[in-house]
């Protein structure tokens, strides 16, 4: 595994290995010397709170040097292209580049202009593989006592703006690797045609969430909507919003963040006893440490053997 661009790059064994090392790394408080002398570049051409901060902290906890660049405040604002930005920063010979970009395929382009291991931190509506890994990790810890085999019996309902969601695409594929059952639920305008091919069911009936062990709520991605997909956010909230009345006690609720309180999720659910939202953030750190370690250490070991 040279890069992590899509969940499709991973086998079930790869995912299991990453989740197992995340479990070990999550137990350790101290800084580790694992990536001493390695340079990790973090390039965010789109807004981020959780993903950018957790990658940066993950790299630092493994003793890597880190350069973090956001489009705002960089020469991207002066019109420098992605290619020129990468060629410039590649001169520092980074070992890994973490990239988020609004365009699908941007991580492949970055891979072409550097020798670094590329980690896709979200490209348009396409893929966000580390989010899916941290979500699987969170599910395994919260509902399967850390046992990967038990993911197989799990039923996950993913609710809302599937159309614009790279999180949903990556998560459906990741859950399918473990034989979990996934139902995508939302208004027909926000359920892409043919998405079942990724290994899931779809429903346009909100009561379809009732049977699920986990209700995974997606943000309404207003910044990616060029047309009106729903009559209004108020109406969306009334018909599809996850309120305490729509879930049962013990049914776990997840959301990748950032949440729109009162739109796709009621604040009482987000802050409630069955919410795993902050557990997801904690998992993000351990899983991203595991991913960096997998790409930068395991790879070198393999090269030495070869
Ligand atoms: C997601 C993203 O950026 O795709 N957020 C995240 O990484 N935590 C989901 C979203 O923005 O709605």
Residues having CB closer than 6 A to ligand 1 are 50-51, 122, 128, 131, 166-167, 219, 221, 256-257
Q: In the numeric block, which tokens belong to residue 282? A: 């904690």
The single-letter DSSP state of residue 144 is S
Q: How far apart are the CA of 257 and the centre of ligand 1, in A?
A: 6
Helix (H, G, I), strand (E, B) or coil at 293: helix
Residues 52-86 as b or e (16 or more Cβ within 10 Å = b): bebbbebbebbebbbeebbbeeeebeeeeebeebb
At 302 the pLDDT is 55
For the packed helices 129-143 and 166-177, what is the interaxial angle rounded to 10 degrees?
50
Residue 197 pLDDT class (50, 70, 90 cuts): very high
- In testing the pocket of ligand 1, which one of 49, 51, 134, 265 has its CB within 8 Å of the most ligand atoms? 51
At 81 the pLDDT is 87
Pick the more confident residue, 286 or 306: 286
**Residue 282 annotated as catalytic:** no
Mean pLDDT of 136-145: 98
Residue 305 pLDDT class (50, 70, 90 cuts): low
d(CA 275, CA 255) in angstroms, rounded, equals: 9
Q: Are 62 and 289 in contact (CB under 8 A)?
A: yes
Residue 298 pLDDT class (50, 70, 90 cuts): low
Mean pLDDT of 109-122: 97
Q: What is the pLDDT of residues 239-279, one digit of tens each?
A: 999 999 999 999 999 999 999 999 999 999 999 999 999 99
pLDDT(87) > 90: yes
User: Active site residue: 61, 95, 126, 128, which one?
Assistant: 128
Minimum CA distance residue for ligand 1 atom 12: 219
Report residue 157: phi and psi, to 5°.
-100, 125
Q: In the numeric block, which tokens belong to residue 69? A: 């660049």
Sequence-separated (6 or more) residues with CB below 8 Å from residue 101 = 43, 45, 46, 82, 107, 122, 123, 124
**Residue 169 annotated as catalytic:** no
At 72 the pLDDT is 81
pLDDT(300) > 70: no
**Residue 100 annotated as catalytic:** yes
Q: What is the pLDDT of residues 219-240, one digit of tens each?
A: 999 888 877 888 899 999 999 9
Mean pLDDT of 194-216: 97
pLDDT(73) > 90: no
Q: What is the pLDDT of residues 13-69, one digit of tens each?
A: 999 999 999 999 999 999 999 999 999 999 999 999 999 999 999 999 999 999 999
Q: How far apart are the CA of 51 and the centre of ligand 1, in A?
A: 8
**Residue 17 annotated as catalytic:** no
Using a cut of 0.75, tell me whether the model's pTM lies above it: yes
At 301 the pLDDT is 54
d(CA 27, CA 192) in angstroms, rounded, equals: 39
Which of these, 36, 51, 62, 38, lies nearest to 290 by C-alpha position?
62
Widest pairwise Cα distance in the chain: 59
Q: Which domains does the chain have, with CATH numbers?
A: 7-128+281-305 (3.40.50.1370), 129-276 (3.40.50.1370)
Helix (H, G, I), strand (E, B) or coil at 212: coil
């Amino acid at each position: 595994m040279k890069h992590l661009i899509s969940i499709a790059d991973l086998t079930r064994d790869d995912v299991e290995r990453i989740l197992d090392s995340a479990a070990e790394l999550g137990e350790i408080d101290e800084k580790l010397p694992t990536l001493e002398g390695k340079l990790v570049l973090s390039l965010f051409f789109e807004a981020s709170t959780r993903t950018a901060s957790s990658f940066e902290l993950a790299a630092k906890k493994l003793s890597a040097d880190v350069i973090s660049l956001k489009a705002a405040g960089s020469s991207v604002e002066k019109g420098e292209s992605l290619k020129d930005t990468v060629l410039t920063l590649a001169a520092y010979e980074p070992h890994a580049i973490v990239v988020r970009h609004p365009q699908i395929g941007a991580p492949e382009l970055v891979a072409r202009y550097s020798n670094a291991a590329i980690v896709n931190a979200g490209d348009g509506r396409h893929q966000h593989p580390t989010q899916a890994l941290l979500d699987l990790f969170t599910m395994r810890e919260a509902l399967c006592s850390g046992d990967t085999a038990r993911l197989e019996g799990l039923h996950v309902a993913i609710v809302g703006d599937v159309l614009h969601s790279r999180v949903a695409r990556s998560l459906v594929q990741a859950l399918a690797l473990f034989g979990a059952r996934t139902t995508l639920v939302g208004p027909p305008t926000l359920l892409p045609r043919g998405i079942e091919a990724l290994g899931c069911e779809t429903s346009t009936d909100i009561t379809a969430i009732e049977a699920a062990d986990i209700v995974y709520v997606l943000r309404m991605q207003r910044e990616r909507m060029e047309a009106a997909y729903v009559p209004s956010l108020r109406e969306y909230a009334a018909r599809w919003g996850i309120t305490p009345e729509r879930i049962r006690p013990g049914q776990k609720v997840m959301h990748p963040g950032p949440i729109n309180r009162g739109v796709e999720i009621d604040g009482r659910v987000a802050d409630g006893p069955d919410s795993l939202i902050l557990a997801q953030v904690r998992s993000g750190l351990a899983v991203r440490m595991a991913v960096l370690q997998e790409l930068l250490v395991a790879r070198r070991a393999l090269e030495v053997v070869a």
